[in-house]
Amino acid sequence: MSDPEVTEVFEKCLGCRYMVALLRHIEDGVNRPGQLQRAVDGMTAKVLSERLKRLVEYGIVERASYPEIPPRVEYDLSSFGRRLLEIIDEVDELQRQARMTKNG
Amino acid sequence: MSDPEVTEVFEKCLGCRYMVALLRHIEDGVNRPGQLQRAVDGMTAKVLSERLKRLVEYGIVERASYPEIPPRVEYDLSSFGRRLLEIIDEVDELQRQARMTKNG
DNA sequence: CGGAATCCAAGAAGATACTG
DNA sequence: CAGTATCTTCTTGGATTCCG
């Protein structure tokens, strides 16, 4: 039987609103909170902050803060996060295939 | 269905409580609602019913009903569902590796 | 037995104001 | 600019009941 932790990553991370979009933007080099909020349509700063915190908690992204004025913070995918994103792409591809088969 | 994006499968299916466990049981040959409810700890009949409906809606499982007395209904993975489950296993494996790396 | 309907509790997310 | 706190609203899930 399966590991309860898979369920957890899906429930707490990937299954949350904006998460996939968020990860994709980080992958594309959009690393700062301000930019991320502008990039992901409809996501408020509060929710963004919660999501980022959780992604760090699950080891999917890593946080780096630079004590400058104004303060700068950057988020990047961990190696685990990068591989996770590859898997998400597989689901993407799978859906594309399923759609093709269905629609001709 | 309207334009099933990756985000949607994660949000509406995989990210929901019990979903991964449910899919794994179906994969293992537990196909009838009554058995599934007993198999997945804590899941009520209502939630089970909602989940199954959604899985059918997204083409992940297929429903077959037999007009017997008492009525019998069975749910099975579609080919899309089977491949989806393989991908879930990849996440499982990925997490296992990540844990190993971390704990030595 | 399968499943839909109802009512209620818990959690997720939106809007806004505020701190370092 | 990044992040937290509060309040409200919406969505999910739990408990129960009734129908085919």
CATH number at residue B45: 1.10.10.10
pLDDT (0 to 100) of residue A5: 83
Q: Are strands B61-66 and B72-77 parallel, antiparallel or unpaired?
A: antiparallel
Is the residue at A42 inside a domain?
Answer: yes
Backbone dihedral angles phi then psi of residue B73, each to the nearest 5 degrees: -135, 140
Q: Would you say the C-beta of A47 is within 7 Å of strand D? A: no
Q: Give this prediction's pTM.
A: 0.92
Alpha helices by DSSP H, listed for chain B, are: 6-8, 19-27, 33-39, 45-57, 79-103
pLDDT score, position B103: 76
Q: Give the chain B residue nearest A4 (alpha carbons).
A: B21
Look up the domain containing A93 and give its range: 6-103
pLDDT at A1 over 70: no
User: Which of residues 20 through 79 in chain B touch A, CB cutoff 8 A?
Assistant: 20-21, 24, 59
Q: Does A2 touch chain B (CB under 8 A)?
A: yes
Q: How confident is the model at residue A4 (pLDDT cuts 50, 70, 90)?
A: low
Is A51 inside a domain boundary? yes
Q: Does residue B1 sit within a domain?
A: no
Give residue-wise pLDDT tens across range B16-52: 999 999 999 999 999 999 999 999 999 999 999 999 9
d(CA B44, CA A11): 18
- Tell me: the pLDDT tens digits for A14-37? 999 999 999 999 999 999 999 999
**B45 in a structural domain:** yes
Number of structural domains in chain A: 1
Q: For residue A1, is it within any domain?
A: no
- B27 → chain A, closest CA residue: A1
Phi, psi at A78, each rounded to 5°: -80, 175
The answer to whether the CB atoms of A20 and B14 lie below 8 A apart is no
Q: What is the distance between the alpha carbons of residues B53 and B42, in angstroms, rounded to a whole number?
A: 19
Contacts of A15 in chain B (CB under 8 A): 10-11, 14-16
Is position B94 within any domain?
yes
User: Which pLDDT score, from 0 to 100, does residue A3 have?
Assistant: 59
**A16 and B CB contact within 8 Å:** yes
> Measured between alpha carbons, how far is B95 from A58 in angstroms, rounded to an integer?
10
**B27 assigned to some structural domain:** yes
Q: Look up residue B59 and give its amino acid.
A: G
